[in-house]
């Protein structure tokens, strides 16, 4: 299978340019929202909350809030990246170019993942202004954030191809991802939930993402980091396979 | 000897729901020519372009571009094909230069500022290179689409209704652009329902309707074969019957005998010669006339007549 690096780079660069063009919406708005969460729940209310395990409550919620922003923004960025060309008709250029699934994903998903990493870095730096925290396993944290950003970029890409209206584009991030993240242990430890909810909560896939990221920060989590990593990788592979199928069949792309 | 650059064989496209947009289309396009695909709305022109460019998945049939199958060797084929779509589809917030550079890169070519400048200058867009596309006029936007399609230096360029909705001046300007592309060695396939456009530009003409190619021929040969001369002779005095010398011509009396209508010729000029003979015969027969109106049938007349015949056969 050949890979045209110039094509992939062109898509990547253009998507990043689009990101910078809409910096207020893409960067400032999510950073501001997350900072407010950290300020209110972490700094103001957090001072009155008991520690979770050995972690200060204000610091405890940072990985969950980061995940909340990361999932929403990554999915939205990526889905908009492919939906808008479909909506405006400019996708003709991509489809008529000598560009395959590999270049397309490297460009669109790579750019969406890059945006998410930039966003994550800004949020983490901003969080330090309000709440002191340390990252116990920074390399793991980087790899885990990268994996989550890549897999949800792929997921967003699928969403952008599936959606045939702006309403549908917003349904998954707003009505599924956000509630699941809130219920996935962002503000509490699953272990603190009463039975049977502590078991039921494990059916929520976001629990494994929040828990995994929290482990990279504080070395302890509700579920094993290896389970979190394995599930994230499985999600990434599943999304990649679905996109490969979409390109092979032309579903919603080619008439 | 014409060298085929694009060969369609048995190309068929049936959309989900059963609509047959292309019906067993066979078509060969030769290198360096300007081919006009004429047809009414919904005839299958855009579907045909889409099938070649990879936007539409054919139901059956084969497409060979530059001797390569566009299904198995799609990368090589697409790298040499450009498309200017009918709709003004581009990111309106993007600056012109940025958009054109993107198109070149998307097709896998290394940046070439000199070439991009040449393209933009040739389309009178260089001064607007830093303008966002949304700030340009409709005609300029269409030129941007042409620049984007030319950015990867295609050998075969599709122009889907390039002058749809543009004013006469801009249309003529666009024709100059198409001529310039031909001069650069680009093979151009344009779809249009402006017959005048095909008449002005094309070397060969194909007529498509209902997904079927009705006719493909050299434009001049088509005009010669199907063209007609029509002459109206306004008589000084009405006639009841035609003298034998006049009745030998393909004429008939009209308007209660006040005018004589000639229909004949074959588009090669023979008709005009016959009209001259007719006027001599009228004078020789002592029939006076006060005016003559002569016109050659246009490609549009041929087009309308062909589609009319097709409708009659279908009925």
Give the ipTM of the model, two decimals please.
0.86
What's the confidence (pLDDT) of residue B201?
83
Asked if residue A36 belongs to a domain, the reply is yes
Average pLDDT over residues B96-100: 95
3-state SS assignment for residue B253: strand
Q: Which of B224, B242, B267 is the last residue of a domain?
A: B224
Looking at the structure, tell me whether residues B173 and B210 fall in a common domain: yes
Looking at the structure, tell me whether residues B220 and B235 fall in a common domain: no
Asked if residue B146 belongs to a domain, the reply is yes
Asked if residue B263 belongs to a domain, the reply is yes
Looking at the structure, tell me whether residues B79 and B168 fall in a common domain: yes
Nearest-by-CA chain A residue for B102: A10
Chain B within 8 Å of A126 (Cβ-Cβ)?
Answer: no
What's the confidence (pLDDT) of residue B88?
81
Looking at the structure, tell me whether residues B254 and B112 fall in a common domain: no
What's the confidence (pLDDT) of residue B129?
94
What's the confidence (pLDDT) of residue B242?
87
Asked if residue A255 belongs to a domain, the reply is no
Asked whether the beta carbons of residue B53 and residue A10 sit closer than 8 angstroms, the reply is no
Asked if residue A254 belongs to a domain, the reply is no
Looking at the structure, tell me whether residues B91 and B180 fall in a common domain: yes
Q: In sequence order, what are the beta bridge partners of B68?
A: B65
Chain B within 8 Å of A9 (Cβ-Cβ)?
Answer: yes
Q: Does residue B298 have a pLDDT over 70? A: no
Asked whether the beta carbons of residue B102 and residue A10 sit closer than 8 angstroms, the reply is yes
**Cβ-based contacts of A93 with chain B (< 8 Å):** 83, 89, 103, 106, 148
Looking at the structure, tell me whether residues B220 and B281 fall in a common domain: no
Q: Which of the two residues, B169 and A234, has the higher pLDDT score?
A: A234
Percent over 90 (pLDDT), chain B: 43
Asked if residue B186 belongs to a domain, the reply is yes
Looking at the structure, tell me whether residues B183 and B74 fall in a common domain: yes
Asked if residue B215 belongs to a domain, the reply is yes
Q: What is the CATH number of the domain that holds B291?
A: 3.30.70
A150–chain B nearest CA distance, Å: 22
Asked if residue B301 belongs to a domain, the reply is no
**Cβ-based contacts of B55 with chain A (< 8 Å):** 92, 95-96, 254-255
B67–chain A nearest CA distance, Å: 17
Asked if residue A184 belongs to a domain, the reply is yes
Overall domain count for chain B: 2
Q: What is the DSSP string of B1-57?
A: ---EEEEEEEEEEE-TTS-EEEEEEEEEEETT-EEEEE--TTSSHHHHHHHHHTSS-
CB-CB contact of A224 with A243 (8 Å): no
Asked if residue B311 belongs to a domain, the reply is no
Q: Does residue B160 have a pLDDT over 70? A: yes
- For B24, counting Cβ atoms within 10 Å of its Cβ (0-12 exposed, 13-18 middle, 19+ buried), the class is middle
Chain B within 8 Å of A102 (Cβ-Cβ)?
Answer: no
Which of A6, A96, A101 would you mutate first to test chain B, the one with the most B CBs within 10 A? A96
Query: Helices marked H in B128-205 — which ranges?
Result: 138-150, 168-183, 195-201
pLDDT classification of B124: cutoffs 50, 70, 90: confident
Q: Which of B164, B197, B224 is the last residue of a domain?
A: B224
Looking at the structure, tell me whether residues B103 and B53 fall in a common domain: yes
Question: Domain containing A191: what range?
Answer: 5-249
Looking at the structure, tell me whether residues B184 and B286 fall in a common domain: no
Q: Which of the two residues, A85 and B174, has the higher pLDDT score?
A: A85
Asked whether the beta carbons of residue A97 and residue B90 sit closer than 8 angstroms, the reply is no
Question: Domain containing B127: what range?
Answer: 4-224
What's the confidence (pLDDT) of residue A255?
79
Q: What is the tens place of the pLDDT at every residue in B191-231?
A: 877 777 777 888 898 989 889 998 898 877 777 666 678 88
What's the confidence (pLDDT) of residue A218?
92
Q: Which of B224, B240, B267 is the last residue of a domain?
A: B224
**Cβ-based contacts of A252 with chain B (< 8 Å):** none
Q: What is the tens place of the pLDDT at every residue in B48-67?
A: 999 999 999 999 999 999 99
Average pLDDT over residues B236-240: 89
Q: Which residues, other chains included, contact B204 with Cβ-Cβ below 8 Å and sequence gap of 6+?
A: B30, B33, B34, B35, B36, B216, B217, B218, B219
Looking at the structure, tell me whether residues B161 and B188 fall in a common domain: yes
User: Which pair of tokens denotes residue A93?
Assistant: 């250029």
Overall domain count for chain A: 1
Residue B6 φ/ψ, nearest 5 degrees: -145, 130
Asked if residue A173 belongs to a domain, the reply is yes
Looking at the structure, tell me whether residues B83 and B203 fall in a common domain: yes
3-state SS assignment for residue B163: coil
- Judged by phi (left if over 0) then psi (alpha if -120 to 50, else beta), residue A250 lies in left
Asked if residue B314 belongs to a domain, the reply is no
Q: Which of the two residues, A103 and B268, has the higher pLDDT score?
A: A103
Nearest-by-CA chain A residue for B70: A98
Asked if residue B194 belongs to a domain, the reply is yes
Looking at the structure, tell me whether residues B138 and B155 fall in a common domain: yes
Q: In sequence order, what are the beta bridge partners of B191?
A: B37, B160
Nearest-by-CA chain A residue for B91: A90
Question: Per DSSP, which regions of A107-188 are E strands?
Answer: none
What's the confidence (pLDDT) of residue B50?
94
Residues in chain A where the model's pLDDT stays below 50: none
Q: Does residue B186 have a pLDDT over 80? A: yes
């Amino acid at each position: 299978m050949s890979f045209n690096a110039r094509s992939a780079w062109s898509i990547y660069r253009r998507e990043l340019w689009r990101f910078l063009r809409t910096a207020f919406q893409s960067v400032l708005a999510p950073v501001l929202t997350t900072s407010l969460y950290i300020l209110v729940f972490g700094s103001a209310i957090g001072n009155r909350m008991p520690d979770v395990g050995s972690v200060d409550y204000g610091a405890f919620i940072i990985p969950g809030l980061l995940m909340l922003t990361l999932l929403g923004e990554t999915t939205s960025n990526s889905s908009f990246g492919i939906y808008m060309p479909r909506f405006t008709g400019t996708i003709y250029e991509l489809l008529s170019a000598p560009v395959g699934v590999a270049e397309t994903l490297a460009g669109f998903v790579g750019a969406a993942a890059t945006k998410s990493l930039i966003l994550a870095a800004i949020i983490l730096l901003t969080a330090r202004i309000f709440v002191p925290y340390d990252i116990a396993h920074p390399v793991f944290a980087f790899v885990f954030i990268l994996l989550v950003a890549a897999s949800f970029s792929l997921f967003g890409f699928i969403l952008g191809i599936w959606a045939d209206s702006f309403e549908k584009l917003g349904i998954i991030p707003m009505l599924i991802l956000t509630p699941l993240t809130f219920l996935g242990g962002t503000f509490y430890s699953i272990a603190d939930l009463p039975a049977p909810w502590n078991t039921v909560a494990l059916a929520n896939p976001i629990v494994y993402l929040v828990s995994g990221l929290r482990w990279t920060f504080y070395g302890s989590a509700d579920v094993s980091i290896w389970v979190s990593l394995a599930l994230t990788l499985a999600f990434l592979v599943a999304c990649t396979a679905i996109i490969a199928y979409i390109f092979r069949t032309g579903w919603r792309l080619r008439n | 000897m014409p060298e085929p650059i694009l060969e369609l064989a048995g190309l068929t496209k049936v959309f989900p729901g059963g609509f047959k947009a292309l019906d067993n289309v066979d078509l060969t396009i030769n290198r360096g020519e300007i081919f006009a695909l004429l047809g009414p709305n919904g005839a299958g022109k855009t579907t045909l372009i889409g099938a070649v460019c990879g936007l539409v998945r054919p139901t059956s049939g084969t497409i060979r571009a530059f001797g390569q199958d566009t299904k198995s060797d799609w990368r090589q084929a697409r790298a040499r094909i450009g498309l200017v779509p009918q709709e003004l589809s581009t990111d309106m917030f993007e600056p012109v230069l940025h958009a054109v550079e993107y198109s070149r890169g998307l097709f896998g070519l290394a940046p070439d500022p000199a070439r991009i400048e040449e393209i933009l200058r040739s389309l009178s867009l260089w001064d607007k290179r830093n303008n966002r596309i949304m700030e340009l006029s409709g005609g300029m936007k269409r030129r941007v689409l042409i620049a984007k399609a030319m950015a990867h230096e295609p050998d075969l360029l599709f122009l889907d209704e390039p002058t749809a909705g543009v004013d006469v001046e801009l249309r003529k300007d666009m024709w100059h652009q198409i001529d310039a592309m031909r001069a650069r060695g680009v093979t151009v396939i344009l779809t249009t329902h402006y017959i005048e456009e095909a008449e002005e530009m094309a070397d060969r003409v194909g007529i498509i309707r209902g997904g079927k190619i009705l006719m493909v021929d050299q434009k001049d040969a088509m005009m010669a074969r199907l063209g007609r001369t029509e002459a109206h002779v306004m008589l000084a005095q009405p006639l009841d019957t035609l003298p034998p010398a006049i009745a030998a011509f393909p004429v008939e009396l009209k308007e209660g005998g006040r005018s004589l209508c000639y229909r004949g010729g074959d588009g090669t000029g023979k008709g005009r010669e016959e009209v001259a003979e007719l006027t001599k015969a009228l004078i020789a027969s002592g029939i006076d006339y006060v005016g003559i109106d002569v016109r050659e049938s246009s490609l549009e007349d041929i087009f309308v007549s062909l589609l009319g015949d097709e409708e009659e056969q279908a009925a």
